[in-house]
Amino acid sequence: MNGSTETEAPLLEVDGLGVTFYTPRGTFRAVRDASLEIARGEVVGLVGESGCGKSTVAFAMMGYLPGTARVDGTIRVEGANIAELSQSELRDLRGNRVAMVYQDPATALNPSMRVGAQLEEVLLEHMDIDSQGARQRTVELFESVGLADPEQIGRRYPHELSGGMQQRVVIAMALACDPHLLIMDEPTTGLDVTTEATILDLVVELKDRVNAGILFVSHNLGVIARVADRVAVMYAGEVVEQASVSELFKNPRHPYTAGLLSCVPRPPGDDGIERELSSIPGSVLDAQIEGGESCLFADRCPLAQDVCTAQAPPMTDLDGHFVKCLFTSEVHSGIWGEAQERQKELIPEEPVPVLNANGLHKFYGNERKKYVVFGPPVQQPVRALIDVDMKVGNGRTLGVVGESGSGKSTAAKAIVGLIPKDGGKLELRGQNLEDGVQHRTEEQRAAMRMVFQNPTASLNPKLPIRHSIIRALRKFAGLDRDESRERAEELLEAVGLDPSYLDRPPSELSGGQQQRVALAGAFAASPDLIVADEAVSSLDVSVQAQVLNLLEEHQREYGNSYVFITHDLGVVRYVSDDILVLYAGHVAEYGPAEAVLGSPSHPYTEALLSAAPIPDPEATQNQIRLEGSVPTLRTAFQGCFFAGRCPRKIGDICDTSQPPEQAGPNSEGHIINCHIPVDELAEIQQQPVQNGIAVTP
């Protein structure tokens, strides 16, 4: 199973890898049978649900497994078996020939050291270089990964950098010693869509520039389609399919792969019809189960027959397409159910919306004067939200999109009362909402719930997860102990978790499982409004499809409304009735989803859409890349808030005059804040982009 030539040995060979962890709670088979190869200048994508063993394979390649792990099979890097290397040889291997980029850059960087010093430390440790040479090489590396002002960026601490900048620093550290093999474990999860696009562009560029082999671990199939040459699909610790990226997306041969592809939200087809998401029932086989002589996917497979539970399928070579399945000829997209037209019946609009926000303002910090209480101002407060209006109708979903720093999470926290607003009006079903949640009535608190971006931080690490669900049921739903336990079990099953999870602490759950617990807790009180801040960003595609279908089903049954914040435009297209596009605290565009995501749109919306990865390796799209990041707004913009990065800028008017609010041409309630007339926007957005630059006729 390789993409290397017969004359060139693979850079990496993994053959029959098995990883077993021995713990006080039992034996866990994290990886059962994984084999793959990576050649120089090749990107191999590794995909699968949470718990399939992807990250364990990556850590095994680095020799980063604890002493409680037993490793079977072989891992060879440039012919050297890493199991036979001493600790000093492993250290040398990690520094000079193999490097890893971790999912969370914040945990990979020392918060007490400047980022330049951290990179210099790597160079001094592993390369024959002096301090001056290390400083010069650090600047070159920062420049190579596209960091602005590379001479000064090294003087900053990690907390002074955005998530995208931190990730670029981590990539620069990984490239410091010109590694032959680069392992990237979910490097773009949690990044906004424009930052993700630039990181993916960087990965493709690095592959060609340094001729390194790259293992790219991700649950985002759109990302894999963008960067990978070949794809390996893992299930329950086994590689069950492997093929070139175009072949695998076009012609999946394993039912599991076909199921994953059917879970991805896609825009309406050529017929204009939007299809419902499929989902894979059940969950990944428990790592504590032996497995035996059977197909590990049989319990969830729509093609399973008696023979599937009687023997383990062998890996079959179908002309370079490797599959572990006995019924490859019967695999097609329809095995998970024919794609049904999505029927979404909107509840009739009521005179009073569930949520009404008008002129919402929020500032962070205070104005500072040169001499404390007098003199000229030397620092203005950071303005997070400026004149933001939004409405959420009964049984409707408002999607909120924008890059990091645009004010999305600030808006969410102001709505639920976690932070006070500095101006504007908030109403819930026509009743005024006080700034702090502690000042709101019990009915208002029960009617509004929030699902946070980081589920780990929202669950008490010292208590079992039942606490967060049962507490809400007893406090807001008025259930007794037995009733709340029974209802909590039903809620866990509804979000795809076994009721036995109620007694587990959060530390024993994956990030995706913790997010499902948070959703179950939000549903507990049957609120009128749920504010979900990146609620599905950490979920793999199969669980994401289950959750999105669950949200829609819950909305149909109970008529609740959502404010849904996400950077995934495929998801926001699927869930939203209306969309609010924020940039630097300002409303760029607002209106019905089909109008906002169509043409014409605000140039910022256009850039977001062009950056979104498409789960089709052969798809073509305009590639508009925004330089820089969202500006920190300490002083009011003289002109258009987007003028500094706009690819459609038309002249000085954009810098000197605030843009007018224009009505979109195709839908009532669609507004675009831009100087360019909407008819001209529609015309220029039909033009192709050349060399990554938007061309205005």
What digits encode the pLDDT tens for the residues 341-386?
666 666 667 788 999 999 999 988 766 655 555 666 556 778 889 9
pLDDT category, 68, cuts 50, 70, 90?
A: confident
pLDDT tens, residue by residue, 293-326: 899 999 999 999 999 999 899 999 999 999 999 9
Helices (H), 65-192: 87-96, 105-108, 115-126, 131-144, 150-153, 163-174
Helix (H, G, I), strand (E, B) or coil at 152: helix
- Nearest by Cα to 400 from 576, 195, 529: 576
Task: Give the model confidence (pLDDT) of 467-507 as tens digits.
Answer: 989 988 888 878 888 899 999 998 888 777 888 889 988 88
Rounded percentage of the chain residues whose pLDDT exceeds 70: 92
* pLDDT at residue 177 greater than cutoff 70: yes
Q: 121: which residues sit within 8 A by CB, 6+ positions away?
A: none
Confidence check: pLDDT of 210 > 80: no
pLDDT top residue among 104 and 470: 470
Q: b vs e for 300-309, b when ≥16 Cβ sit within 10 Å of the residue's Cβ?
A: bbebbeeebe
Return the HEC string of 357-375: EEEEEEEECCCEEEEECEE
**Higher-pLDDT residue of 125, 432:** 432
State the residue for tokens 């200048």.
41
Under the banding of pLDDT at 50, 70 and 90, the label for residue 144 is confident
Contact call for residues 480 and 486 (beta carbons, < 8 A): no
Measured CA distances, 91 to 62, 98, 169, 229 (Å): 10, 10, 21, 29
User: Over the chain, what is the mean pLDDT?
Assistant: 86
DSSP-derived letter for residue 275 is: B
CB atoms within 10 A of CB 319: 7
Fold of 1-97+179-343: Rossmann fold (3.40.50)
The correct answer on CATH 3.40.50.300 for the domain covering 581-694 is yes
Pick the more confident residue, 434 or 623. Answer: 434
Range 611-628 average pLDDT: 83
- d(C-alpha 240, C-alpha 259), whole Å: 13
248: tokens are 């695998």
- Strands 98-101 and 181-185, sheet pairing: parallel
**pLDDT tens readout for residues 555-565:** 888 889 999 99
**pLDDT over 90 at 327, yes or no:** yes
Contact 465, 507 (CB under 8 A): no
CA distances from 641 to 75, 654, 656, 657 (A): 52, 9, 10, 10
User: What is the rounded CA–CA span in Å between residue 622 and residue 607?
Assistant: 9
Residue in 39, 41, 17, 20 with CA at minimum distance from that of residue 29: 20
pLDDT higher than threshold 50 for residue 4: no
The full set of domain ranges for the chain reads: 1-97+179-343, 355-530+555-566, 581-694
pLDDT at 2: 52
Buried b (16+ CB within 10 A) or exposed e, 452-468: bbbbeebbeeeebbbbb
| pLDDT of res. 348 | 67
How far apart are the C-alpha atoms of 37 and 57, rounded to whole Å? 12
- Amino acid 273: pLDDT: 65
State yes or no: pLDDT of 72 exceeds 90: yes
Q: Which two tokens stand for residue 516?
A: 């499902």
Give the lowest-confidence range in 162-166, 364-368, 620-624.
364-368
563 bridge partner residues: 398, 531
Query: For residue 633, what pLDDT band results from cuts at 50, 70 and 90?
Result: low
Query: By mean pLDDT, which of 150-159, 165-174, 507-516, 563-572 is the weakest?
Result: 507-516
Q: Are 118 and 108 in contact (CB under 8 A)?
A: no
Q: Is the pLDDT of residue 270 over 80?
A: no
Q: C-alpha distances in angstroms, 671 versus 156, 639, 686?
A: 39, 18, 20
The two tokens of residue 85 are: 């290397």
Residue 251's CB is within 10 A of a number of other CB atoms, namely 14
271: pLDDT strictly greater than 90: no
Domain 355-530+555-566 and domain 581-694, same fold? Reply is yes
For the stretch 676-695, pLDDT in tens is: 999 999 888 887 655 444 45
pLDDT band at 5 (very low <50, low <70, confident <90, very high): very low
According to the model, what pLDDT value does residue 6 have? 47
193 pLDDT above the threshold of 50: yes
Spatial CA neighbour of 218 closest among 418, 52, 455? 52
- Which residue would you say has higher pLDDT here, 95 or 328? 328
355-530+555-566 CATH pick, 3.40.50.300, 3.40.250.10, 3.40.640.10, 2.30.110.10? 3.40.50.300
Is the confidence at residue 417, as pLDDT, over 90? yes
